[in-house]
Structure 1
């Protein structure tokens, strides 16, 4: 198809995933320098169309300082809301021009401890507020499966590069679906870990409720599993059970709750619904029990999350000169940020109650796992839209309704702090992938990975190199 774009060629990267690349470095079949050069060449070939790169350091990659990391030598990129020494962090915004960071952010240090080679930074929508990587005047980041379509957000640049084959793994973070949404749009594996599983990034430390989990986007379950195991060597939260290296499915059979409809009443489209039901059938064939359950929260949760989302936009706008850069210009913010800010300023008295109710969500969410080890649902309410459908240039009220009708399932896990994973379990008739979500109890990433291995074996995930 002419609207698909792949970077996969016969070079040092080939079609290898990150685990295989690291093994090739260890046995001498290739070197970190060869892998970095191949990734840079691939990026230069496809990024003029994808517009996924924020900053590149292809001539001077940041190689790991030691060779002990499990993913030593594998090339990657960091998202543009996380500091990398010598590069700006512009958070996807045109409202300021950040100076180069003087040091790596706390999470960059943890990521680099795995041995990954950093080649630059990926694009994201302004402050990560949007579920699509689109801008007011700049080119959008495009989906390599169909370049007329959104690649999701806010880790959209990372998703585009991994799906296209530039790198096998890229940094992402998730404050309302920003790992899982681009994974769903781009046919990738995207696991949002439990709150505090990783070192927290600087931006999450000042939030009234920390919604953000750090992680990666990959093309294989074993890459995600290997990364999660590797970061535990740098720092493991003693309050959470260790994950260790998960290498395949478990023998135990699970009770899986099934949710098909959103709490907002937005309908799940037929193609998304069918992908979830096919996944449920695969789980049943493997001996798991799948049964419908009800969400533990109602429409009030959606209203409260929107109020908190608006509060964060208001805070970003109001403190931008102090938090980001003295060049910060509120008038240059995009339509979504300004619309959310105006919404909060129109009714700030709603915020204390919203925060109080949201803080109680973890208890409500925990009840879902009293009788079920996993909960199966869509990632998004409908298939990936064309570029422009969620553009920040739209009238805010129209955009707000479209956003609510699209992001119907992911925010609950951010507020509750529970882990969830997006797996590519379907393909829309438009040629873009469909993601399905599995969620687990707080601290139980292991069960998610074990089940993901099982589903990957039962229905191998699509690879763009094989679809062109």
Structure 2
């Protein structure tokens, strides 16, 4: 194992090593108070954040006030953070960029309203890559968000700040969202559970709902399967997608044995030799548990990566062209990073191809549905190779260099964003260097319950590595 600097704040205080469900139990039993839990989370955050760079905005006074009279809900009094690309009343929304000056929002957005209705107490907002476009949150002025497992390495993106704080023990659960892997990528990098729900499963803000192809889904990053399952259960009580089967209360492994496909070739670019070996080891573990596992090619068309990048670029172009109208006179596109500007240029040069790309991407859900008629679940690595060191995806590099490195690393996650299917990254593997290497399980639309039952089974049979272990 390489010599790495780990950062965490687990100790014998009100939070201990409890996950969110464990903290709820302790609060109900009177073993700790909400105020003590919030104060412990504040202290822990301030301890680790100088090394991690995960916090975008602190709202500690608000959290302290709320701890005196917390709102109801299953998670009442559990401290959390919200990613800085959703609107929370009285807090600015900055989207990880310097291109404008964020103003306090007058009201919660639809997502925050649902999220906080579960009882969670927000301590502030977490950092992300600019507009969530990069898989690493590295900012030219503020610096990178670093992994608590090794501060020389990236915490992933775009929900990097949330994942770093949960992994380091500052809070047990935090909001994340995912437009190309941004729940699953930082979960994979930081040794967490990260489930991207089915499209429409949770409430979404207006900006997300207006996308021509709604690739973004919201969720959480957690340290245990039961926390993710409990969040989906509680969120469903607040917001119910009537056209989807309910997730329900999933608390244990499923009894049925599944048909599982495994793929390490990716779509266009595949996994490294080490990650391929680690993935096939998980496939063997699934077989040991009695599941039927076989290798299968991805159902995607070979042109899928190009179409996805073009649609990603089109979203960047919309941001650039509407920035002043949306954000006011402080908008300055010259302060955007090279990746955002490069994406916008790519879209502008290929604008005539965008409608065709959207049509082809929209049809991908049919290929996914046919695939999941044959297989209940697909196993892939979450990311194609080991977590890169800080600087590898520095957004001040030339656009072509950044994009080539992104495509080399993020070869698996965008598929479910396009199809709308659910997928979960689990901390099932560790590299030779001692870093978490997440493994991803995907299922058909509306099948979160299947993924959670399988995740419980794997967590029980092959306990996840913990940052506090030697």
TM superposition score normalised by structure 2: 0.97
Change (3 A) 1:2 1:10: farther
Aligned to 2:40: 38
Q: Distance in 1 between matches of 2:217 and 2:10?
A: 30
Question: Is the contact made by 2:187 and 2:221 (CA closer than 8 Å) also made in structure 1?
Answer: yes
Q: Deviations over 1:276-326 (max 9, x none)?
A: 112111111111000111211132111100100110111111101122333
Return the match for 2:141 from 134, 137, 140. Answer: 137
How far apart are the structure 2 equivalents of 1:325 and 1:22? Answer: 42
Q: Where does residue 181 of structure 2 map in the other structure?
A: 177
Q: Is it true that 1:255 corresponds to 2:256 in the alignment?
A: no
1:335 match? 338
SS at match of 1:198: coil
**SS of the counterpart of 1:370?**
helix
Task: Say if 2:70 and 2:77, in contact at 8 Å, map to a contact too.
Answer: no
Q: 1:298 aligns with which of 278, 296, 301?
A: 301
Q: Does 1:76 align with 2:80?
A: yes
The RMSD of aligned alpha carbons is 1.2
Distance 2:70 2:138 in 1: 37
Partner of 1:354: 357
Counting matched residue pairs gives 466
**1:386 paired to 2:389:** yes
> SS of the counterpart of 2:294?
strand
Structure 1 runs, 4 residues or longer, greater than 6 Å off: none
* 2:216 pairs with 1:212: yes
C-alpha deviation, 1:67, in angstroms: 5.3
3-state DSSP class of the match of 1:299? coil
Match of 1:461 among 450, 456, 464: 464
- Partner in structure 2 of residue 120 of structure 1: 124
CA offset digits 1:346-403 (Å, max 9, x no partner): 1211111101111101111111101111011111111110011111111111111111
Structure 1 gap segments, 5+ residues each: none
Task: Using the TM superposition, give the Cα deviation of residue 2 of structure 1 relative to its aligned residue in structure 2, in angstroms.
Answer: 5.5
1:52-451 to structure 2, matched below 5 A, reads 52-61=54-63, 63=66, 68-264=72-268, 266-451=269-454
Structure 1 pair 389/2, CA: closer, same or farther in 2 (3 Å)?
closer
2:17: which partner in 1? Answer: 15
Contact 2:264 2:270 in 1 (8 A): no
Give the whole-Å Cα distance in 2 for the aligned partners of 1:199 and 1:332.
Answer: 31
Deviations 1:412-432, CA, capped at 9 Å, x for gaps: 100100000000111122332
Normalised TM-score (structure 1): 0.98
Q: What 5-or-longer segments of structure 2 have no aligned partner?
A: none
Does the Cα contact within 8 Å between 1:98 and 1:325 map onto a contact in 2? no
2:388 & 2:412 partners in 1: Cα distance?
17
Question: How far, CA to CA, are the matches of 2:206 and 2:326 in structure 1?
Answer: 11
Once the 2 structures are TM-superposed, how far is the Cα of residue 113 of structure 1 from its aligned partner?
1.1
SS in 2 for 1:465: coil
SS at match of 2:305: helix
